[in-house]
């Protein structure tokens, strides 16, 4: 039997699984997740797994949710409470779960610890190439590229952009190019358009870097990104770039 229950934060949802997973329980759960996504954009789940009918039953439950692609992408954190050895085996083989979900297992007696973990900020993978730049204004996003971008760097970029979209609807981006290890600005734009879910929500971008090549690159890239207002600034023009973004 599958039942749902509220938690201390509005963006969190709890459910209890005790026995076989029934269709009515799955339907109730999906409806509850849809409501959280509609009102809060993202959802964090706490699963209290007292007893399950087996790994196949548990997998069927998550496969059902995965068919709701628009919901699956909105689950950002997931805590599992269980003393089941079957569940331990399932969690150790999570190839059938989306990689973007931060997931952690706890014993049934560790409910308070699981709840506190669920409330904590997302633990982003370490990024060597992307650094956050504090611009002193919450509606602006400041980032610096200091090395060649890898998968973890784009994931972090995506997290920052998504967070601003949820708060303000649109993103105004301060992007300083310190070093890209020979990667062209055009290649970077193309990678960003592919990797960033909300690239279309970036309405204004200030590119800061070496003036000897940056301005010409930005003019060319303007043709590739219609609707995005971009401007180039030298490394000594940070204050002017921030004013332009406002």
Q: How many helices (H) and strands (E) does the chain have?
A: 9, 10
Do the beta carbons of residue 11 and residue 43 sit within 8 Å?
Answer: yes
| Residue labelled with tokens 């301060």 | 174
pLDDT in tens, 52-96: 666 566 666 666 666 666 677 788 888 888 886 655 555 555 444
Give the C-alpha separation, 108 to 114, whole Å: 9
Q: Where exactly are the structural domains of the chain?
A: 2-119, 130-245
Give the C-alpha separation, 40 to 142, whole Å: 24
* Conformational region of residue 233, where left means phi above 0, alpha means psi within -120 to 50, and beta covers everything else: beta
Do the beta carbons of residue 174 and residue 206 sit within 8 Å?
Answer: yes
pLDDT in tens, 138-185: 889 999 988 888 777 887 888 888 888 888 888 999 999 887 666 666
Write out the two tokens for 229: 């207002």
Phi, then psi, of 206 in degrees rounded to 5: -100, 120
Which residues make Cβ contacts (< 8 Å) with residue 18, sequence separation at least 6? 1, 50, 51
Q: Would you say the C-alpha torsion 67, 71, 73, 78 has a positive or negative sign?
A: negative
Q: In this predicted structure, what is the pLDDT of residue 218?
A: 58
Q: In this predicted structure, what is the pLDDT of residue 96?
A: 43
CB atoms within 10 A of CB 237: 16
Phi, then psi, of 56 in degrees rounded to 5: -60, -40
Residue 30 in this model has a pLDDT that exceeds 60: yes
Say which CATH architecture domain 2-119 belongs to.
Answer: 2-Layer Sandwich (3.30)
In 3D space, the residue among 209, 217, 219 whose CA is nearest the CA of residue 241 turns out to be: 209
Global confidence as pTM: 0.52
In 3D space, the residue among 23, 105, 13 whose CA is nearest the CA of residue 60 turns out to be: 23
Phi, then psi, of 136 in degrees rounded to 5: 75, 15
Q: What percent of the chain has pLDDT over 90?
A: 15
Q: Which is more confident, 226 or 154? A: 154
Q: In this predicted structure, what is the pLDDT of residue 173?
A: 92
Render the burial of 59-88: b for 16+ CB within 10 Å, e for the rest. Answer: eebbeebeeeeebbebbbbbbbbbebebbe
């Amino acid at each position: 039997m599958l039942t749902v229950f509220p938690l201390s934060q509005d963006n969190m949802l709890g459910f209890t699984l005790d026995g076989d997973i029934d269709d009515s329980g799955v339907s109730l759960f999906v409806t509850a997740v849809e409501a959280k996504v509609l009102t809060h954009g993202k959802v964090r789940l706490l699963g209290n797994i007292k007893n399950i009918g087996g790994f196949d039953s548990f997998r069927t439950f998550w496969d059902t949710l995965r068919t709701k692609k628009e919901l699956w992408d909105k689950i950002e954190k997931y805590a599992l409470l269980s003393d089941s050895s079957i569940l331990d085996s399932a969690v150790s083989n999570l190839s059938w779960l989306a990689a973007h979900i931060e997931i952690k297992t706890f014993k049934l007696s560790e409910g308070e610890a699981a709840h506190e973990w669920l409330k904590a900020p997302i633990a982003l993978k370490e990024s060597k190439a992307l650094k956050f730049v504090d611009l002193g204004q919450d509606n602006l996003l400041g980032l610096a590229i200091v090395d060649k971008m890898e998968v973890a760097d784009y994931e972090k970029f995506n997290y920052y952009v998504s967070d601003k979209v949820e708060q303000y609807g649109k993103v105004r981006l301060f992007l300083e190019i310190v070093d890209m290890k020979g990667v062209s600005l055009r290649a970077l734009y193309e990678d960003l358009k592919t990797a960033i879910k909300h690239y279309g929500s970036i309405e204004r971008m200030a590119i800061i870097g070496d003036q000897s090549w940056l301005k010409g690159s930005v003019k060319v890239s303007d043709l590739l990104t219609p609707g995005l207002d971009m401007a180039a600034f030298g490394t000594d023009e940070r204050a002017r770039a921030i004013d332009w973004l406002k």
